[in-house]
Amino acid sequence: MRKRMIHIVLVVFALACMGAVWVLTSPTLALRRIEIYGLENLTEDDVLKKLPFSRGDNLLLISTAAAERRLAADGRIDSVSVRRSFPDGVIIWVHEKKPVYLLNCGTLWGISRDGVAIPIDDPRRVASLPVINVAENYSPLPYRPVVDSSVVRSVAFLNRIAETDPDFLDRISEISSPEAGQFSLVLVGSGIEVKMSDDPAELEKLGVIIANLDTDTISPYEIDLRFPGQGIVRFKPKMPEDKKNAETENG
């Protein structure tokens, strides 16, 4: 009985080994398809040359985790997913870094939510996004974090606004941070400059002030929220229409 059991165990083991050898060497499980989705500026070759495997490798032996790590290390890529697709494929989803703000340093760059500089080939095709102003002698490195402290502060501030009051981002034309805790915003349309601290709660105060401005009689050019409990509006009186027309007629 014991010899019979040993014989059965040996047969099962031999069959298992044969099965394993077949699985690891069978052309059925050889990688033939590498499908890549989500590319915009990257090329398929950019992705393929970073993979730790290639066509012809056994699908069970490749490391999708290693592939994700290598691709994620590319500064142009925000996130990536690599999955096996049996019997002979791998599917790769790539999400490239995209600008959520613009960086004006004499030339126009994009900047991601995590503060990475993104080159812009054609400024005419850039979406309308808040512009972060910085000294014109600053030169960012492509797909590297922007290290200028004023830009770092501005990005962090805009990110907080995106979380607390995302609709307000559409009202910001430009932003700069001359010093820690201080920001200067230029509003879309009106061109009003807003000086404020780094407390996004002040945006609620700003909304109340703007809603109550009598723009028919005054022309506000600056709102200062830096002083506790105050909202200072600096403005110029609007010229009456009849006087404006008279000056126009007189040249």
Alpha-carbon span 51 to 65, nearest angstrom: 11
Could you tell me the pLDDT band of residue 10, with boundaries at 50, 70 and 90?
Answer: very low
Could you tell me the pLDDT band of residue 14, with boundaries at 50, 70 and 90?
Answer: very low
Give pLDDT tens digits for 238-249. 665 555 444 444
Give pLDDT tens digits for 23-37. 455 667 789 999 999
Rg (CA), the chain: 30
pLDDT of residue 249: 46
Q: Is the per-residue pLDDT at 64 higher than 60?
A: yes
Give pLDDT tens digits for 94-121. 999 999 999 999 889 999 999 999 998 8
Q: Residue 240 is encoded by which pair of tokens?
A: 């009456």
Could you tell me the pLDDT band of residue 212, with boundaries at 50, 70 and 90?
Answer: confident
CB 58 within 8 A of CB 24: yes
Residues in CB range of 40: below 8 A, 6 or more apart: 96
Q: Quote the Cα angle for 171-174-175, to 5°.
A: 110
Domains of the chain by start residue, with CATH: 30-96 (3.10.20.310), 101-237 (3.40.50.11690)
Q: Residue 209 is encoded by which pair of tokens?
A: 């002030």
